[in-house]
Chains A and B, each alone.
Chain A
C-alpha cells in the first residue's frame, strides 16, 4: 500500500489532527527505551476514544497494515519499536481516570494514564496502586499490562497481573471483549498480561487499590562484596520475612548514584542492600530487628535505619535515580533483565563480572534482589560499531547464564525485539509453536506488533542448528536474522 493511501485511509477513521506523518514529528516515535534500535513508521495515530481505535483496527486489518501499540514508549525491549510499513497506535490521548470507587477500592482508568497518576489521584483516600516500576512517572497503565510490569514493591504486593481486576480489549478483528478476574472461562486476563501488544489493544483497565500501610521503615546495609550481600538476600527470604522491597546495587552503581543524587550511600561499600518493611507499626519494628540481625550475621559492615520519612525517601531516591546515574558513566547503556533463583545470585553475579572483563565492557548492577530479578547495565558507546556488537553478544551470554542457572531471560521488561534468539533457547520448538498458534487465534493476519516477542520457528531451527553450547555461537561475525 502506498503511504499516501494509508494516510488517506486513516483520515477516514480519525480526525486529521490525530495523525502524525511528517518526518520531524515522527522522530520521537522511532524508538522506545531501547534506543539502540530505531525505525520510522509511516504514521502515528493518536485516537481519542475506543470508536476511533476500532475504526483504525478495522482499516488496518482490511489493508494488511501492521499496528504497533504504544503507551509512553519506555519499554526496554523494543516492544514499541515501529514497523517500517506500519503505523504506531499511540494511546497517549486516552489519559483519563474514569472512576475511583473508594468503597470497593478500585480505579477504572484509560490505558494512557501514567502509573504514578493513579496513586496520586487516590492518595487523599489513603489508598494507592501497588506496582511501582522505576519508570512510574512516565509509563502508562496500558503499557504496564502489556509488559506485566513489576517494581520495587512487587516482592510483597505482586506484579501488574496481581493488581488488575478487569480490562477491556479491542481485538485485531475490531471486536470488543471484557476480561474480569475470577470470571469463568479461560483466564485471558492473565494471558493478556505480558503479551506485549500482540494479542489486542487494552482500552480500559480496572486496577485494585490498596490501603496505605501505617508504617514503613527502610534499612540500608553495606557489604564488602556482592557474594555476601547475595547470601544475605537468600538468608532473609528463607527466614520467612517478606520485605516490601529488597534491592541490591553493586560498587559501580553505588559510585555513579552517589555522584548523581544526594542519597548518602556508603562510599566504601562493594554492595548495598536496601530493604523496606511495611505494615503495622509493632510488626515493622519487630521485622527491622530481625533484618538487621540477619544482615549482621551475613557480614554487613554498615547498617543504617532511616529515622525519618525524609531519610527514607532519600535512600529510595538513589535507587530510583540509579539508571540515569549509571547512564552518565558512558554514552549508552544496555539493560538486561534475567531472573534467577535467589540462591544463585552470588554465583551468577560473579560470572557476569568475569564476562564483563572478557568483553572489555563495564557492567553495573542495580536490581530487584528479593525477586532474583537481575538488571545488569552494560556500558557502551553506540557510535562504536564493534563495541555495540560486543554489547549485544555479552547481553545474550548473560541471558543464557540466567537460563543455565534455572531462570528466565526476562523478569519484567519483555522479549520485544531483543531477546528473540534467547526465546529459542529457553523454549522447545513445540512450545514456540504453541505461542505462535495462540497469536493466530487472536490475530490471524498478524497485524498487531508483528515480529515481536515470539520468534518464528525458522529462526529457532536455524539458530539451534548453530547453537553449540551455552551461548558460544560459532562465527559470531556472520549476521543473524
Chain B
C-alpha cells in the first residue's frame, strides 16, 4: 500500500531486460473493455493514496491505484468533485483505470472530458524511466501535452503513477425534468434547447422518455426548471448514477454493447437493435447483434465512429478502425514510449 513507485519501476525495468510483455491492471473493473491482451501482471492497485489535496487551489494529486470511491468521499467532504463524473463499474475501481480508459459520465458534453481536468501526470516508459508531464497549475503549454495523450491510451504507452486533477465545486442543486416524446422529437427538443445557455449537465433518451438534468447554482437551476416545463422526475439521482455506471436494465441485458459518437442531431442510423441516447445526442449506446462491418458502415456514413464496449470478438477490431496514416502514426508514437511493445500489447489496436 502507499507509494509503490520504486517497486513498479523495478518491475518495468526487469520486464524490459527480459523482453517480457506486461498487462497493467488496477482492480480489474474494466477488464471487459478493449481487445484481449496478455502478459505478466503489473498491479497498480497497491499504489494508493492522496498525495496532495488543496481545496482552495482546486487541485488534487493522487496515486493511480487510489479507489474512485475514496477520492469521491474525500472531495465531497469539501463540497468538491471531479466534474467529469467518472463511472464506477463494479466496486473498488481505481482512478488510474478511469484515466487510462478516458471514461466520463453523462455530463461530459456540458462539463468536459477526463482529459479536460487532468493537469499533469507521471508515468513509466518502456525503459523504466519515471517521467513527469504537465503540473499542478491551471494553464501549461511547456512541451507537448503528454499528460492528455496518456488519457484514454488504455495503458499502451505505459503505466500512469500519479495524476493531478483540477477539481471543482459540487453543483449546489441538481434537478431532472422529463418529457414523454418520440425519439425524433427528443432529438429535435435537445437540439433546440441546447441553443440557449441552460445549465444542462445531462440529456438522455430511453424508452420514450427524454430526461434533462440541470445542475449548478440553485437560482439558475430553479429558474431553468420553471422555464422549461416538463415533468419533474422522481428517480433523479438514481437514474443518472445508473446511466453512468451502466446498471440500468438497458445495460444489463446479454449481447454486444456499442458506443457510438456522432454529431448530436444525427437521426438516420438504421441498425437493428436498441438505442439509448446519451450526451445530448453526441453519444449513443447500441445493443445489437448486427455484424461489426454493418454497424461501422452506417455510423461512418453519418461521420461518426463506433466501438464495441462490451461483448463480441475481442481478438478483432474493438475500437473504431484507424485510417492508414493514423495507424502508422500510432505505431510510431507507441514506439517512442515503449519500443519493445511491453505494455498492454494489442489492448487498443492489434498493431499497438
Which A positions have Cβ atoms within 8 angstroms of B? 101-106, 125-127, 147-148, 150, 154-155, 158-159, 161-162, 171, 173, 175-178, 180-188, 190-191, 193-195, 199, 210-214, 234, 237-238, 240, 242, 279-283, 286-287, 339-343, 368, 371-373, 406-415, 419, 423, 426-428, 430-432, 434-435, 437-438, 440-442, 453-454
Contacts and interface: CB of A to CB of B under 8 A. Distances in A.
Interface stretch (B1-9, B201-209, B325-333): B325-333
Q: Which of B56, B112, B125 has the most CB of A within 10 A?
A: B56
Contacts of A427: 132, 142-143
Contacts of B125: 430, 434
Interface stretch (B42-50, B188-196, B233-241, B244-252): B188-196
Interface residues of B, number: 73
A191 B148 contact: yes
Contact of A441 (B191, B199, B220, B332): B332
A163 to B, nearest CB: 10
A415 B142 contact: yes
Contact of A103 (B149, B265, B333): B265
Given A185-B349, A238-B56, A428-B131, A194 B333 contact: no
A238 B55 contact: yes
Contacts of A159: 139
A412 B142 CA distance: 9
Contact of B329 (A106, A407, A412, A441): A441
29 contacts: A106-B263, A158-B112, A161-B116, A180-B261, A185-B319, A185-B348, A186-B152, A187-B115, A210-B197, A211-B197, A212-B197, A234-B57, A238-B57, A240-B169, A280-B223, A282-B219, A283-B223, A339-B137, A341-B57, A371-B138, A373-B138, A406-B135, A406-B137, A430-B131, A431-B143, A434-B336, A438-B146, A453-B143, A454-B144
Contact of B194 (A105, A171, A234): A105
Given A105-B194, A211-B197, A408 B142 contact: yes
B145 A191 contact: yes
A213 B140 CA distance: 27
A135 to B, nearest CB: 15
A408 B135 contact: yes
Among B136, B140, B224, B323, residue most surrounded by chain A Cβ atoms (within 10 Å): B140
Interface string B135-164: 111111111111011011100010000000
Nearest to B102: A187
Given A177-B326, A441-B333, A187 B264 contact: no
Contacts of A182: 108, 113, 261, 282-283
A162 B139 CA distance: 12
Given A211-B197, A441-B333, A184 B319 contact: yes
Nearest to B336: A437
Given A161-B148, A242-B168, A341-B137, A423 B57 contact: no
Given A171-B325, A185-B326, A343-B57, A279 B265 contact: no
A419 B282 CA distance: 40
A234 B56 contact: yes
A241 B98 CA distance: 27
B250 to A, nearest CB: 21
B13 interface: no
Interface string B95-123: 00000001000001000110110000000
Contact of A177 (B54, B282, B325): B325
A340 B169 CA distance: 21
Contacts of A440: 336
Interface of B: 54-59, 79, 102, 108, 112-113, 115-116, 125, 129, 131-133, 135-146, 148-149, 151-153, 157, 168-169, 191, 194-197, 199, 216-217, 219-220, 223-224, 261, 263-265, 282-283, 305, 307, 319-320, 322-323, 325-326, 329-330, 332-333, 335-337, 348-349
Given A343-B57, A407-B137, A430-B131, A435 B144 contact: yes
Contacts of B131: 428, 430-431, 434
Contacts of A195: 144-145
A407 B135 contact: yes
Taking each of A171, A210, A341, A453, which has the highest tally of chain B beta carbons within 10 Å of its own beta carbon?
Answer: A341
A282 B172 CA distance: 14
A283 B220 contact: yes
A161 B148 CA distance: 10
Nearest to A433: B129
B265 to A, nearest CB: 5
A130 to B, nearest CB: 12
B219 A283 contact: yes
A140 to B, nearest CB: 17
A186 B132 CA distance: 18
Most buried by B among A190, A211, A411, A427: A190
A242 B58 CA distance: 11
Nearest to B123: A434
B148 A187 contact: yes
Contacts of B216: 279, 283
B141 A126 contact: no
A184 B348 contact: yes
A408 B137 CA distance: 8
Query: Taking each of B112, B138, B323, B336, which has the highest tally of chain A beta carbons within 10 Å of its own beta carbon?
Result: B138
B336 A162 contact: no
Nearest to A179: B326
Contacts of B57: 234, 237-238, 341-343
A399 to B, nearest CB: 10
Given A371-B138, A415-B142, A440-B336, 14 more contacts: A101-B263, A104-B191, A171-B329, A195-B144, A210-B197, A242-B169, A283-B216, A339-B138, A341-B59, A341-B137, A408-B139, A410-B140, A411-B141, A434-B337
